[in-house]
Structure 1
Amino acid sequence: MSETEHEEGLVSATARFDRAMARLEASLRDLTGRIQRHQRIEVDTQRLVHERARLATELDKTAARAKRLDDGAQEVSRRLVDAMESVRAVLQKAE
């Protein structure tokens, strides 16, 4: 192999190596970007999980309060009916 052929082979090998390094660097940048996006998604997901848990707790509290209010309204209604029946009974006796 002549010196020129050797130099051409070296130049060709160097060019292939440079292209391979450029592809590796591009792949590394792409992978780094995907990892960062994945990490942001993970953070967002955790935030949503915590928000969902907080909202579920609030919903449970609100549902319990609504039940208490409904039970109270039913009790008031029952007492009003009892009072109206008592008034009706008194009025009937007075006639």
Structure 2
Amino acid sequence: MKAIVSNLPGSIKGLLHQPISPSVLAAILPSPKQLARYLKVARGRQTPPRLQRAQAKAKAKAKAKAKKAKRKAKAKAKKAKKRKAKAKKRKAMKNNSSY
């Protein structure tokens, strides 16, 4: 029964975790024939290799893009920090005081 439950559609699976009466359960669950057909479909559903490759490529591309964005943000923050330090130094010079 556990294997059957794990292969059921999400909506039914969600209901199985709540206490429900057997009659309601019988009404929700498909007939054995339908269930067998569904399990067959669920087992056979697999991403074709070309699509898998395309997905992997897209994932790698997105990862690289995120990495680049992070690197750019870091550099930008560093520049801003330097700029602020220089401004502070200028202000101190102007006021002729140590900072």
Deviation of the 1:48 alpha carbon: 0.6
What are the residue-to-residue correspondences of 1:18-33 with 2, within 5 Å? 18-33=56-71
Q: Identity across aligned pairs (percent)? A: 8
Q: Tell me, what secondary structure is at the counterpart of 1:58?
A: coil
**d(CA) in 1 for partners of 2:73, 2:50:** 34
| Equivalent runs, 1:1-95 vs 2, <5 Å | 10-58=48-96
Q: C-alpha distance in 2, partners of 1:30/1:38?
A: 12
TM-score normalised to structure 2 length: 0.49
Question: Where does structure 1 lack aligned partners over 5 or more consecutive residues?
Answer: 1-5, 60-95
Shift of 1:58: 1.2
CA RMSD, Structure 1 to Structure 2 (Å): 2.1
> Which residue identity is paired with 1:30?
K
Higher relative contact order (CA 8 A, sep 6+): 2
Gaps of 5+ in 2: 1-44
Bigger proportion of residues as helix: 1
Query: Higher Cα Rg: structure 1 or 2?
Result: 1
Q: Which runs of 4+ in 1 moved over 4 A?
A: none
